[in-house]
Amino acid sequence: MTASTESFGRPAAASGAGPRLDFQSHLADLEREGLLVRVDRPINKDTELHPLVRWQFLGGVPEDERRAFLFTNVVDAKGRHYDMPVVVGALAASPRIYALGMGQKVEDIGPAWDRAIAHPIPPILVEAAPCQEVVWRGDELTQAGSGLARLPVPVSTPGFDSAPYLTATLCITRDPDSGIQNMGMYRAALKATDRLGVRMVARPAGGAGGYVHWQKYNARKEPMPIAIVLGAAPVVCFTAPQKLAIDMDEMGVAGALAGEPIRMVKCVSVDLQVPADSEIVIEGLIDPEWLEPEAPFGESNGYVALEAFNMKMQVTAITMKKAPVFAAIISQVTPSESSVIKKVAYEPFFLAHLRDHLGIKGIKRVVMHERLTNLRPVIFLQFAAGAPQTEVWRGLHSCANFQTGCGKIVVAVSEDIDPSSVDAVLWSLAYRSNPIEDVHIAPYRSGVQGSQYGGGKGDSTMLIDATQKKPLPPLALPAREYMEHARALWDELKLPTLSVSSPWHGYTLGDWNDTWDVFAARATGGDWEASGKETLARQRKGLKPETPVKSVEKTDKPT
């Protein structure tokens, strides 16, 4: 089929109308807002699709200019043509796209999550569902070229991945004891037309929700029902990577984000419930004992995960809409769609914990470093000027201990430092920290994701106080008003487009006085000779060169 705006579900309303509960309506919103690129030429899903989208993360495209990509003419390495379009980047190619899916402004995402977690709205069960308009079972799963082979599943890391992988997954399982469903975003490799290899994270401590459920089924020697949902409403998709309590049904949180209950329907072949308005659902059973080699696959920690034994899933049914869109995400080396999904939710979540729950004074911002490090290992904390050093250290320790796997390296900076600028953070480290006093190493830490490639048995934490601890001279850039005027001249001269990062103007840091303000004003006014006459009258004998004037003259009043 050829995708069109008309095939994208209910008509799009004006921006700000609230989150979409139908994935194709969300795509229509993206297209209307200029956030979706439609590619109609043939694209090979095995060799071209992911590398093409990857360039917007690697090629210097500003974050706010990243787009979702809709491929309407998908083929594979064997020349097969698929009648189902593929979309990548529609969940979180940028914070702006994520925010549109949430029905929120970017700055309101954190409070929206806090409210939703505190006041969930339980889902409702319906009898008929769009996601079951088409049902494949029996021979439709096992015949050559059928079942999973009919889905246009891309190869994420061509040249390294062992198979096409489902990536934008909502893997739903149920605790056999409590009956509470859990949802996680786990990778799933195509193994046969009716078999998948699923990796449910066994680390960090305790494991992911699906893994904990599998342990219980393993003890019972009973197959574990599983449903892999593709293309649910964004607010449903966003709950999967959130670190919610394992006994909390994420659908209630998704309902609170949506402002209304999420519609659920019973699966056709397993005892689970799935979002009724999803694009595609793959149902099946996880073997409680037998594991199958899975991977290599490019992972979000920046390495290719090598072969490991993981769960094998026997597919019992595939259901979908009559005209579905196949959803995938860009993961692997960050920044990526996967890291944006986590970043825009995790940062305000950590800030709320430090500021509101622990009452740490002076904490202003939490930034999880994204490029290459995948957010969790390296975290920067920004504190207000004059924040007590005891509060800085309380914030450092609390951040490192909030969630397992997050905060291997935590650095505190002052509010004049942009924590999203690694260059600014390194400047602060270089000139505002004394390693023997301001660095603390704590042992006995569980490893971050990908730590199996580090060669060590254990891990540790490094905390660094790189805040300003005394008055310092101004930053040596022209003052703001001069830089702003020069920027206007730059634009007037139609010079190349600028990509500005902080700091971009000079500012004072406490070690400054009125005399030097007068000197600076004279310099920009062409009256520098007046300053020279004044310093002539202040000459001294018997001093060493480079003796600070303020150590000799006790007055800071201008002459």
DSSP string, 295-332: --EE-TTSSEEPPEEEEEEEEEEEEE-SS--EEE---S
Q: State mean pLDDT over 461-469.
A: 97
- Which two three-digit tokens encode residue 445? 């830490």
For residue 243, what pLDDT is reported? Answer: 74
Write the CB contacts of 21 (distance below 8 Å, at least 6 apart in sequence).
Answer: 233, 235, 258, 260, 262, 263, 277
Res 555: pLDDT: 55
Sorting pLDDT into bands at 50, 70 and 90, what band is 531? very high
Distance CA 205, CA 378 (A): 19
pLDDT of 475 above 70: yes
Question: CA-to-CA distance for 365 and 485, rounded, in angstroms?
Answer: 29
What's residue 7's pLDDT? Answer: 43
The domain in which residue 437 lies consists of 358-465
pLDDT for residue 16 is more than 50: no
- Is residue 338 situated within a structural domain? no
- What is the number of other CB atoms lying within 10 angstroms of the CB of residue 485? 11
CB 479 within 8 A of CB 501: no
Rounded distance between C-alpha atoms, residue 294 and residue 297, angstroms: 8
Q: Does some domain include residue 224?
A: yes
Q: 246 CB contacts (<8 Å, ≥6 apart)? A: 182, 206, 209, 212
What is the distance between the alpha carbons of residues 14 and 6, in angstroms, rounded to a whole number?
16
How far apart CA 67 and CA 157 sit, in angstroms, is 20
Cα gap 206→187, rounded to integer Å: 19
Query: Is residue 541 assigned to a domain?
Result: yes
pLDDT digits (tens, 9 = 90+) for 220-232: 999 999 999 999 9
At 229, list the tokens: 């949902």
Report yes or no: 358 and 322 within 8 Å, Cβ to Cβ.
no
Which pLDDT value is given to residue 177? 96
Q: Which two tokens stand for residue 19?
A: 């989150």
Answer yes or no: do 207 and 245 share one domain.
Answer: yes
> Residue 421 maps to which CATH number?
3.40.1670.10
On whether both 9 and 70 belong to a single domain, the answer is yes
Mean per-residue pLDDT, 32-58? 96
Q: Specify the 3-state DSSP secondary structure of 107.
A: helix
Of 465, 497, 512, which residue is a domain's last?
465
Q: What pLDDT is stored for residue 10 in this prediction?
A: 39
Residues 116 and 66 in one domain: yes
Listed residues 421, 441, 465: the one ending a domain: 465
Least confident range from 131-135, 240-244, 321-325, 354-358: namely 240-244
Name beta bridge partners: 166. 188
pLDDT higher than 70, residue 3 = no
End-to-end distance of the chain based on CA atoms, in angstroms? 81
> What is the rounded average pLDDT of the residues 515-529?
95
Q: Do 441 and 486 reside in the same domain of the chain?
A: no
Q: How confident is the model at residue 556 (pLDDT cuts 50, 70, 90)?
A: very low
Same domain, 195 and 264: yes
Given a cut of 70, whether residue 387 has pLDDT beyond it is: yes
Q: What's the mean pLDDT in 539-559?
A: 81
- Whether 334 is in a domain gets the answer no
Of 328, 350, 378, the residue that ends a domain is 328
Please name every residue paired with 382 in a beta bridge, in sequence order, or none if there are none: 365, 413
pLDDT at 13 over 50: no
* Residue 262 DSSP label: P
Residue 403: CB atoms within 10 A of its CB come to: 15
Span 187-200, average pLDDT: 96
Query: Which CATH number fits the domain that encloses residue 223?
Result: 2.30.110.10
What is the pLDDT, as a whole number, of residue 434?
97
Q: Are residues 365 and 458 in the same domain?
A: yes
CA 488 to chain CA centroid, Å, is 34
User: Is 350 contained in some domain?
Assistant: no
Residue 450 sits in the same domain as residue 484: no
Tell me the C-alpha to C-alpha distance, in Å, between residue 142 and each of 138, 150, 258, 320: 7, 11, 38, 18
| Within a domain: 516 | yes
Mean pLDDT across the stretch 486-506?
Answer: 91
Cβ atoms of 39 and 3 closer than 8 Å: no
Mean pLDDT of 259-288: 98
Q: Give dist(CA 80, CA 164) in Å, integer.
A: 15
Residue 505 has pLDDT above 90, yes or no: yes
Confidence of residue 1 (pLDDT cuts 50, 70, 90): very low
How confident is the model over 294-348, as pLDDT tens digits? 999 998 888 899 999 999 999 999 999 999 999 999 988 888 999 999 899 899 9
Number of domains in the chain: 3
Mean pLDDT along residues 463-478: 95
Predicted pLDDT at 303:
86
- pLDDT of 435 reads 97
Report, as an integer, the average pLDDT of 375-381. Answer: 95
Whether the per-residue pLDDT at 5 is higher than 80: the answer is: no
| Other C-beta atoms lying within 10 Å of the C-beta of residue 128 | 8
- Name the one residue in this structure whose structure tokens are 């003796």: 547
Determine the average pLDDT of the residues in 221-244.
93
Mean pLDDT (the chain) is 91
User: Is residue 292 included in any domain, yes or no?
Assistant: yes
- Judge if 242 and 165 occupy the same domain: yes
Are 74 and 223 in a shared domain? yes
Q: Which tokens go with 396? A: 């450092």
Percent of the residues in the chain that have a pLDDT greater than 90, as a whole number: 81
Query: 194 and 295 share a domain?
Result: yes
More confident residue, 353 or 208: 353
**Gap between the Cα atoms of 543 and 523, Å rounded:** 27
203 falls in which pLDDT band (50, 70, 90)? Answer: low
Q: Which residues pair with 315 in a beta bridge?
A: 284
Amino acid identity of residue 481, one-letter, is E
Question: b/e map of 194-207 (b: 16 or more CB within 10 Å)?
Answer: bbbbbbbbebbeeb
Q: Is residue 557 part of a domain?
A: no
* pLDDT of 11: 34
- Provide the 10 A C-beta neighbour count for residue 521: 11
Q: Are residues 380 and 498 in the same domain?
A: no
E-strand ranges in 406-475 read 409-414, 439-445, 459-465
H-only helix segments in 187-319? 209-220, 234-239, 250-258
pLDDT at position 9 is 41
Under the banding of pLDDT at 50, 70 and 90, the label for residue 454 is low
Residues 402 and 529 in one domain: no
**pLDDT higher than 50, residue 386:** yes
Closest C-alpha to 15, from 106, 111, 113, 100 = 100
